[in-house]
A and B are shown apart, each in its own frame.
Chain A
Amino acid sequence: MAVSLTLFFITLGVMLIFPIIMRFFENVFLKMILYVIFSGGLVVMLGIDAAIIAPLMLLTVYFASMAVADPRVMRAAIYLLMAMVLLGFIYIFLNSEILMALHISVYGGGIAILILFAAVLIEENTTIIDEQTMRTGYLITVILAFTMGILTFRGRPEALTTTTIASLDDGFALVNDFSVFLWTTYNHVIPFLAMLILGALIGAVRLALTDKEVINELGVETEEVSS
């Protein structure tokens, strides 16, 4: 475990420093050769799985933090889309292609476009967040992340099986087993889930079709609040 952790942090460090190193080289061909050497070194050092997954994870984290930090809501939605797509591709490395397909079609095709539409339809006024809230937020987040990190490092049991993308051929059996499991052990949950989604759909359509007058009749006064 210690070796793998060291490798992990070395990878992170090298990948963060590498773009800075590349700035000192002007020649395009030299740059290309350096890129090839760098990626080849990663593959040799970590194995192909880790060499693919490390940039994917870094990009996912970068897009996720940009989705929270970017001042424009529309850009935040674009970053959300990209982070979700990359996260879906990370699931392949956990041998769950079926969840990758579901994740990409729901998050990339469904939720991202909903958020994009909402971000375009709503006129944005950026609010300045006061220092107090910012500091409290960072403090809580850092403490919680630290606690979670310690718990994760100390508390996890040794892995029973290992996954590689070399086990791509078992996909059909896994999907079959998963669906059989889903429809035997959890078959009483699926109808409720379907009812939930149908209810959300009908509710969303009903809310979107509600006129402004109806909202006013409910007791909300519009004009006075616009400050």
Chain B
Amino acid sequence: MIDIIWFLLLSIVLFSVGLLGVITQTNGIRILISIEFMLNAANVNFIAFNSYYGLVDFTGWSMALFIIAIAAAEAAIGLAIFISVYRSFGDITLGNIFSLGEASEAE
């Protein structure tokens, strides 16, 4: 018998980790990885609430299923974009990718 608070804490920690990654990282693939963690935090919550507050209707599980499908589509198209960007710019650091304007002041 596990209290639901365990799963909610797991969801909070996963979301925070993903958020930290999205804010601080500059590599495109890492940002994608972080976004996957944030989506999965939402997934854990959906599934946990659906399992604990009645198994008569399955809205939470359906939402989790849709999120999984959307995450798959997002990862496929995102990585294709990153590879395409890498082939034309030779770099995947999001701060260095621009085709208009000057180089950033940090250089």
Contacts and interface: CB of A to CB of B under 8 A. Distances in A.
Interface of A: 1, 4-5, 8, 47, 49-50, 53-54, 57, 60-61, 64-65, 67-68, 73, 76-77, 80, 83-84, 87, 90-91, 93-96, 98-99, 102-103, 106-107, 110-111, 114-115, 117-119, 121-127, 129-130, 133-134, 136-138, 140-142, 144-145, 148-149, 152-153, 156-157, 159-164, 174, 177-178, 181-182, 185-186, 189, 193, 196-197, 199-201, 203-205, 207-208, 210, 212, 215-216, 219-222, 225-227
Contacts of B36: 80, 84, 107, 111
A99 B61 contact: yes
Nearest 6 CB-CB pairings of A with B: A200-B73, A137-B23, A204-B80, A68-B21, A207-B80, A137-B24
Interface in B4-19: 4-10, 12-19
6 contacts: A90-B10, A99-B65, A106-B69, A140-B19, A161-B51, A199-B73
Nearest to A149: B12
A54 B76 CA distance: 33
Contact of A153 (B5, B44, B58): B5
A76 B79 contact: no
Given A137-B23, A138-B20, A96 B44 contact: no
A185 B4 CA distance: 27
Contacts of A102: 65, 68
Interface residues of B, number: 83
Contact of B55 (A64, A67, A174): A174
Given A1-B5, A197-B73, A200-B77, A178 B107 contact: no
Contacts of B59: 185
Contact of A200 (B20, B27, B76, B107): B76
